[in-house]
Each structure stands twice: as structure tokens, then as C-alpha cells.
Amino acid sequence: MSGGEVDTIARLANDNAWLLHRGRFLDVTFLLGVGDVPYLVRIHRGRIESLQRGPFVQPRWTFALRASREAWATFWQPVPPAGFHDLIAMIKVRALTLEGDQHPFMANLRYFKDLLALPRPARGATP
Amino acid sequence: MSSAGKPQFEPAIGRYLRLDIAGRPHRLYVEEAGAGIPLLCLHTAGADSRQYRALFNDADILARFRVIAFDLPWHGKSSPPAGWQGAEYKLTSRAYVDAIMAVVDALSLDRPAVIGCSIGGRIVLHLALEHAVRFRALIGLESGAHADPYYDLEWLHRPDVHGGEMCGAIVSGLIAPTAPEADRWETIWHYMQGGPGVFKGDLYFYTADGDVRGRVAEIDTSVCPLYLLTGEYDYSCTPEDTRELARRIKGAQVTIMEGLGHFPVSEDPAKFLSYLRPVLAEIAERDV
């Protein structure tokens, strides 16, 4: 995995009118950890305003989702194996950690599940 | 304008049943179709008997089984008992067994087979322990003796988080990624429709009160056969949880279902029926 998947998230999200609609009450900055590379994702009214790649000196975020590069790569497979097919599943199998204030994440859980699954190719698509 | 044809009704007939459960009057919604061996279907936590639509529409099953499903009190089209507004809903093992036995008695079911999923898969273990002679077979789907919560259940019922959105989103990952889209979202919709706090109240049974780890070794499958079927993608009751349960129960028959999750009946009915048919055939043959 090159990290290219993360870079596609902002474009795919901002092109998705239904996702933006569902996120219209959401204003938050969260940290996405891919191995030792942190990304800060700033969301305003459901739209990705910025997606910055670290390292950061003093990052500020409301919650953080961190997993290894391998775990995210597995999550983004067209048909991921059990345990890596869903964010909550990855938390259950200890492949993903959720830190910080969970409220915006849980209150908008479908939004975040859909957002982070955006790099996953459609089933049957050529990887 | 009108295309005068016969209305396309499904075989199931739904009615409301008046009965007392543990001395309290209740009004429960009950559906049934088919004729033959009674097969009582128990839905998952926070959902209702619509999950069993595939069984209610399968001609082969209806030819040999009288398929019956009811919505637990507080669920689907069943009402909560009068006075519900005065206390938090919490399902207990006692209340759950009482509800099932009250329905069995009210319908005069003669040794029905029972199929239950998730909390329904757990309660069949309680039925096996307490009422084995009243049943001819028990089928536990996504059945384990205990489940540890893996998220804070308080998120399911609080005024600053939408309960329907929360319940739908939290269970969505329990569905296998290969499930047909229409069935996946039908399953999620049922969860989005649950009453405030009902899913959470059911999970009190699932994660605390209904723990039967210390008792399952007493289950006697020679009195009533026990079938355990669990989906590969279920991380609430994992295949390993079910295997561990089966190791403690002599004679329990285990099947791990590939490409299915925590809601096999509802999320991918066709795939699930391919696993269920041999079990139902065995139950029917034993009846001859």
C-alpha cells in the first residue's frame, strides 16, 4: 500500500452528495493513523476541507483511528476477510484503536464507516 | 389503468395474540404459514420477526413445517406491557423464557422445533436446560454461552445520538461483505426501527444476565437435539465462540457458515437456506 488510498478519500467523499448530506451536521478534525504515518482529516458540514499528511509537531484532533498499514490494506480489499471488513470489527479484533472523544464518531458512525471504506474497490472490480 | 390480476400476497398470515406472560397481560404479533411440524422462530436483539421472511416464503419448508414467528414484547408490532413508561427495559433470561413458553402454551404447540438467532441462539440453550422435553429440536444461530461487549452500550440509547441511526450503523458490520445489497439494507432497516433503548435492553440479556457458561455442560442432547450454526463474519458471536460452546455440550452439532455474518436468515437468505435445509430434513425425518 502506497498511502494513495488515503489521498483518494477527500475527492471520493466530496463527490458523494448523499454522504455529504448525511454529514451536514458534522464539524470535526480526526487523526487517521496508517502505520507510523498520521493524517489529519478536517471535516466541515460533512465535507473534507483538508486532508494533511504528517508528521505534525502539535496535532489537534477530537478522535483518532489508528491501525497498521497492513490492517488498512486488508480493510480496503474488495472482499476483506472476517475481522477486517468493518471498523468496529477491527476494533474487536484489536487491529484498530479508537482514542479521544468518541461522540462525533459514534453519532455519525455510518458516515465514518462509509468514508473510510471509500478506497475499497467495488466487488468484482480489478484491483 | 388497473392491471386486474390476483394480489401478490405472501403465504404468511399475521395476527395479534392476547396472552399473559408472567401474570401480565400482553398483546403480541404472531405470523405463521405452512403445515406440519411446528417451527418457532426467534428474532435477534433489537429486531423483529420480519427477519424470517425467507422461511415464510419457501414452499419446500412450508410443505413440511408450520412456521411461526412472534415479535417479542417491545419489538416489531408487539406492544410493551401497560406501564412500560415507568422503567428501563432490560431483557432477562427469566422474562425471555417466560415469553417463549407462554406463546408455546397459548398456541398449544406440540413439541415444536425452535430456531433462534443471536439472543435467540442464546435462549435456546436456556430452553435446552430448563424445558428440553417440550421441544423436538433446538437450532441456535450465532449461538454462544456468553458475549463480552466490545463497545460502550450506552451509545445505543442517549438523547444526543439518534438511536435508529446508531443501532443500524453498529450492526451493519456484522453482516458479511458478500450479502446481497437489498437484504443487507432490509436487515439494517429493522434495526433502525427499534424503539428507544430496546436493542440495549436486549443486550443486557446477551452480555450479562444470560451468561450460561457454567451450565451448558448439563445440556442433554439425547433428550432434545441441538444444532449450532454460526457465520464466518460474525464478530459478536464468533465461530470460535460457538466451537467453544459445542466443546462443552456432548452431541451438539456445529456448522460454520462461510460468507455469512450475524444475521444469516435475513442478510443472505438463499445462502443461509442452503445450510438450514439439511438440518430441517434431519428434524423432519426423525419425526416420521
Cβ–Cβ pairs < 8 A, chains A and B: 54
Chain A hits for B241, Cβ within 8 Å = none
* The three grid cell numbers given for residue B148, joined into one nine-digit string: 463480552
Report the pLDDT value the prediction gives residue A125, as an integer from 0 to 100: 61
Report the pLDDT value the prediction gives residue B2, as an integer from 0 to 100: 58
pLDDT-flagged residues of chain A (< 50):
1-2, 127
User: Could you give the percent of chain B with pLDDT greater than 90?
Assistant: 97
Q: Would you call B257 an interface residue with chain A, using a CB distance cutoff of 8 Å? A: no
Residue B4 domain flag = no
- Distance from C-alpha of B51 to C-alpha of B54, rounded to nearest angstrom: 8
Average pLDDT of chain B to the nearest whole number? 97
Give the domain range for residue B244: 13-287
Q: Which of A107, A113, A123 sits opposite B161 (nearest CB)?
A: A107
Report the pLDDT value the prediction gives residue A127, as an integer from 0 to 100: 47
- Note whether A75 and A84 are within 8 A (CB): yes
Number of domains comprising chain B: 1
Q: Would you call B283 an interface residue with chain A, using a CB distance cutoff of 8 Å? A: no
Structure confidence by residue, pLDDT tens digits, B183-232: 999 999 999 999 999 999 999 999 999 999 999 999 999 999 999 999 99
Chain B hits for A93, Cβ within 8 Å = 235
Question: Is the bond preceding A127 in cis, omega lying within 30 degrees of 0?
Answer: no
Smallest Cα distance from A44 to chain B, Å: 19
Q: Would you call B192 an interface residue with chain A, using a CB distance cutoff of 8 Å? A: no
CATH number of A4-67+98-117: 3.30.1050.10
The residues of A whose Cβ lies within 8 A of any Cβ of B are 79-80, 82-83, 85-89, 91-93, 102-103, 106-107, 109-110, 113, 123
Report the pLDDT value the prediction gives residue B198, as an integer from 0 to 100: 98
Who's near A16: CB < 8 A, 6+ residues apart? A118
Chain B hits for A89, Cβ within 8 Å = 173, 233, 235
Chain B hits for A123, Cβ within 8 Å = 177-178
Residue B2 domain flag = no
CB contact under 8 Å between B173 and A109, yes or no, is: no
Report the pLDDT value the prediction gives residue B3, as an integer from 0 to 100: 62
Residue B5 domain flag = no
CB contact under 8 Å between A103 and B177, yes or no, is: no
Report the pLDDT value the prediction gives residue A89, as an integer from 0 to 100: 98
The domains of chain A are located at 4-67+98-117
ipTM above 0.90, yes or no: yes
Who's near B194: CB < 8 A, 6+ residues apart? B46, B47, B75, B163, B164, B167
Spell out the alpha helix ranges (H) of B177-248. 181-192, 198-204, 239-248
Structure confidence by residue, pLDDT tens digits, B47-57: 999 999 999 99
Question: What residue of B is the nearest CA neighbor of A94?
Answer: B150
Which residue bears the cell 406440540?
A: B110
Report the pLDDT value the prediction gives residue A4, as an integer from 0 to 100: 83
Chain B hits for A103, Cβ within 8 Å = 160-161
φ and ψ of B101, to 5 deg:
-65, -35
The CATH number given to whatever domain includes residue B209 is 3.40.50.1820
pLDDT-flagged residues of chain B (< 70):
1-3, 288
Q: Which of A85, A110, A123 sits opposite B165 (nearest CB)?
A: A110
Q: Which of B165, B166, B235 sits opposite A89 (nearest CB)?
A: B235
B226: nearest Cα among B141, B156, B284: B141
Chain B hits for A87, Cβ within 8 Å = 173
- Note whether A43 and A56 are within 8 A (CB): no
CB contact under 8 Å between B161 and A89, yes or no, is: no
CB contact under 8 Å between B152 and A92, yes or no, is: no
